[in-house]
Structure formats: structure tokens, C-alpha cells
Amino acid sequence: MKKITITTLAMVLAGCATQTPHVAVKEAPVSQEQQIEAQKTAAEITATQPLQLKRKIAIGRMSNETTYGRSLLRDDYMDPLGKQVGDMLSARLINSGNFLVFERPDLARIEQERALFGAGGELVGVDTLIVGSLTEFGRNVTGESGFLSSTKTQKAHAKVELRLVDVNTGQAFFSATGAGEATLESASVAGFGSRAAYDGTLTDKAIAAAISDVIDEMIQKMMERPWKTFILDIADGQVFISGGKSQGLAPGKQLKVMTAGKQIESRQTGFMITLPGAEVATVEVVSTFGDSESNEGSLVKIISGTLDGHRLETLEVVE
């Protein structure tokens, strides 16, 4: 019987270590025709559902409260991990299609640019402000080595804390925590196999996973907040309101016109409490105008009730 050399054995083991496992193909439990029909039905249901009216939100201060990536040479404008949390969160909220997202972290710089170029007007007010921080972040490398084989695992862990703040009262009415991990593994046998150096993208993936862990809950809570807008003007019997296509308004959409409720200070909490207003009319969107969320509006018609005898600044239009 021939002897097997160490080199031959190493080559055999290396081949085993890098071999890609066979992937079994499994048919779907329903036919392709049934899948296509189900997709058509889902699309029809979505098309008949009422449009969601978009809430106006702003991403506020997002900071890195960990020791990772911090130094004395970085000021408030140079917080890469904090900005990364804000940028990822903003992208997720925009892609959800439920919000108009406005910038607030660089508010001082925005005001400087507006003053430099003589831009007029005021910044758009929002319904909810989101603030938060990266509260935990860490990386570690573990591994095992044997006679002919070795393994190496890189892992990144991140945790974010986010809060929703009512811009009218300054009260944080909701908070949530999200955590995520990202892992990279490599193995080799007798010097053969996969190898991995330091992977900087694990940081991005861990933070993205932490935001994914909390984003659905945040969206649901913000969508529970009431949507409202205001009457711009009444001219020649036509009623114009703020908000248009970008916010989800479309011809046929019916809205209620309410009187603004009286504000009374609570002797229990010290907060100002707005009492419920009274419904004075129902309006229906006839058409929309404008080309961006900053200048959009809608023409509406009154289908019940009346606006006579009411000052426009005391009225609110709600869903």
C-alpha cells in the first residue's frame, strides 16, 4: 500500500474545506400560474385602498455616544457614526413612502447658506422630530487553530436609541431600541481556503441591522399621529388648502374641517391640553397644484356644512 504524504493530505483537506455544498432545488407548493394570479389580486387590492397621507417629520440630533470613532480633533460636525445613523434612518423613512423628511441636524449650516445667498421664507414646520444616538458599538475577532486548520470570525455589534418628540410641547412621546450584528467568517486548512482581512463594512452592516430592528415600530407609531393641514384662502367661492400630491392628496379624497380646540393648561401635569374641536364642514379634493411639497396645494369643494362665520386661522383640515 502506498504512503500518503502530508502534502497530498493537505491538498485533499483543502479541497474539502473550499468545496461549495450542493443546493437542493425545491419546487414551490403552488404552480407558477397560481402565483401570478395571487400577485394580480394583491395589486388590485392595493390599488383600491385609500392613499396614506404623508406626515412631515424631521431627523434631529443623531450622536455617537460610544468611545468608538471619537477623538478630541472632531467637533459636532465631524461625527461620522452619528451622521451614519441619521443618514440610514432618513433613507429608510423616505423609501417607506409615508413621510416628507426634512433636514435638521445641520440647521445652523443651512441657515448660514440661506443668509449667504439671500434666501427668504421660513423653514417648513414638521409634525414629529426624531432624535437619538448610537449607544453601543463594538468589534471583536475570535478564532480557533488546530494542527492543519484554523478559523477566524469578525463580529460587529451596534445598538441605537431613538425618540419621537412632539414639536409643539417638546415632550418625547415614544422611544425604542434597536440592536444588530454583522459577522464575517473565514477558514483555512493547511494554508488553503478563504481568508479575510479587516472588513470595515461590518460597521455599516451592524448599524443598518440595528435600524432595521426598530424602523417598523417607529413608522407605525408616527403614522398613528393625526394628519392635518390648513386652509390657504377662499376666493370667488373656491377653497384652497395646503398640501397636494406629494402628501398623498388626490381628487375624490374627503376631509373634515374642524375648529381648532381651545388650549387649557392642565393643573395636574402643567402641559397645555388642546380640547377637541367641532366639525363645521366636509370637503372633497377637486384638483391639486404645485410641483413640490414646498409649494403644493389643493382645490377643494364643500360637500356638507359651511365655513361662513369662521376665521380661516381658527380652522384645521383633518383626515
Give pLDDT, residue 58.
Answer: 87
**What confidence tens digit (pLDDT) does each residue in 46-104 have?**
344 455 788 888 888 888 888 776 654 455 556 788 888 888 999 999 888 888 888 76
CB 54 within 8 A of CB 247: yes
Measured in degrees and rounded to the nearest 5, phi and psi for residue 208 equal -60, -40
Tell me if 28 is assigned to some domain.
no
**Residue-wise burial string across 49-63, b where 16 or more C-beta atoms lie within 10 A, e elsewhere:** eeeebbbbbbbbbbb
| Total Cβ atoms within 10 A of residue 207 | 25
- What's the pTM? 0.65
| Total Cβ atoms within 10 A of residue 27 | 7
Helix (H, G, I), strand (E, B) or coil at 224: coil
pLDDT tier at 275, thresholds 50, 70, 90? confident
Same domain, 212 and 260: no
Tell me if 11 is assigned to some domain.
no
Q: At 236, which CATH number?
A: 2.40.10.410
What domain count does the chain have? Answer: 2
**Cα distance between residue 51 and residue 97, in whole Å:** 11
Question: For residue 25, what is the DSSP state?
Answer: P
Question: Which amino acid, one-letter code, is at 303?
Answer: I
Q: Can you name the residues that pair with 165 across neighbouring β-strands?
A: 129, 172
Question: For residue 72, what is the DSSP state?
Answer: T
Question: For residue 127, what is the DSSP state?
Answer: S
Same domain, 151 and 207: yes
Tell me if 170 is assigned to some domain.
yes
Domain assignment of residue 286, given as a range: 228-318
Same domain, 191 and 266: no
Which of 94, 102, 105, 106 lies closest to 131, judged by CA?
105
Does the pLDDT value for residue 136 go beyond 50?
Answer: yes
Give pLDDT, residue 155.
Answer: 86
**Mode of pairing for the β-strands spanning 128-145 and 55-64:** parallel
Q: How confident is the prediction for the chain on average, in pLDDT?
A: 75
Average pLDDT over residues 126-148: 77
